[in-house]
Structure 1
Amino acid sequence: MRSDFYRFRAAWLIDAPVATVFAAVVDVARYPQWWPDVRTVSKIDEETAELVCRATLPFALTLRMTRLEQDERAGRLGVALTGDLEGSLTARVQEGPGSATRLEILQQVVATKTLLRALSPLARPVFRANHAVMMRRGQRGLRSMLRR
């Protein structure tokens, strides 16, 4: 496997209705309001936004997300990612245990940022840990925002 290829999975339980979670996840422009590691979002067109993300490590990633699928009834979302990471992100929003909603996120990306490509063979565990921290903060932020 290539050292610059990453596959990330996350499963979040959110105590809110499925429709509410789905609406929050598709509203990319509001991510900086609840996800501290998403620093900025700029709308490119109706299907594309550019995000600047920075978690714990001292560098930012710039990503363009282009919507490929948005099916609320099926609870499916999909975007193509380009920029410092290239690949895809898919999400599934569905009923979870009790009154919770389960949000499953799968990212499959190749690092294209020069720094990431150069350091991936050695720093891969650090990059994965940095991503995990970012996702935990996103989950906490979404939970908090939806409680208000």
Structure 2
Amino acid sequence: MTEYKFITIWIIDAPIEKVWSEIINYPNWPTWWKYVERVIPIQDYHRFIWKTPLYYKIAFDTKLIRVQPPIVLELVAKGNVDGVGLWELESIEKGTLVRYTWKVKTTKAWMDILAIFIRPLMESNHNTIMEEGGKALAHLLGANLLSAQL
């Protein structure tokens, strides 16, 4: 399995409570985040199906393991990727700083076989998805995405 660690930081000029309310409402993500195709509730977890800029889909199930409103949302993922996602929000003078850390291993054979060749594409793919997510979230909130570090 190939390991990836991504850290995304958004600064959105909106109050932390408004940002939190949309991040925690992940079943609604497909309505505003174009790369989230579906979020399906299944018992005590959710199945995410993402479409990507590279024209493949990725699916994984997530289960919340830590929720501390409005500052921390942590989940484990199992599926085409296995790992941990951590949303951390911080109220700052300009609005809200959002940090998302995504530490995963791929489980699809083709991703592992081609990893040495496609790693930069996979990283760019992830960054495109996250940049669009930051812009879309800010737009949804009637706010501005002041900064996106990918």
* 1:134 and 2:134 matched: no
State the AA in 2 paired with 1:109.
Answer: V
In 1, Cα distance between the equivalents of 2:51 and 2:114?
17
Aligned to 1:145: 140
Q: Among the aligned pairs, what percent are the same residue?
A: 22
Amino acid at match of 1:102: L
Aligned to 1:69: 66
Secondary structure of 2:99 counterpart: strand
Write the distance in 2 (CA, Å) between the matches of 1:67 and 1:93: 16
The structure 2 residue matched to 1:96, chosen from 89, 92, 105, is: 92
Q: Any gaps of 5 or more consecutive residues in structure 1? A: none
| Alpha-carbon offset, residue 52 of structure 1 | 0.5
Query: TM-score, with normalisation over the residues of structure 1?
Result: 0.92
Corresponding residue pairs, total: 143
- Structure 2: distance between partners of 1:23 and 1:44: 21
Note the C-alpha offset of 1:96: 2.4
Normalising to structure 2: TM-score of the pair? 0.91
Q: C-alpha distance in 1, partners of 2:52/2:58?
A: 9
Quote the Cα distance in structure 1 between the aligned partners of 2:90 and 2:20: 9
- What's the counterpart of residue 50 of structure 2? 53
SS in 2 for 1:92: strand
The alignment partner of 1:147 has SS state of coil
1:80 to 76, 81, 84: 76
> Cα deviation per residue 1:35-63 (whole Å; 9 max; x = unaligned)?
10001110012x41101101211210001
Structure 2 segments unaligned to the other structure (5+ residues)? 144-150
Higher strand share: 2
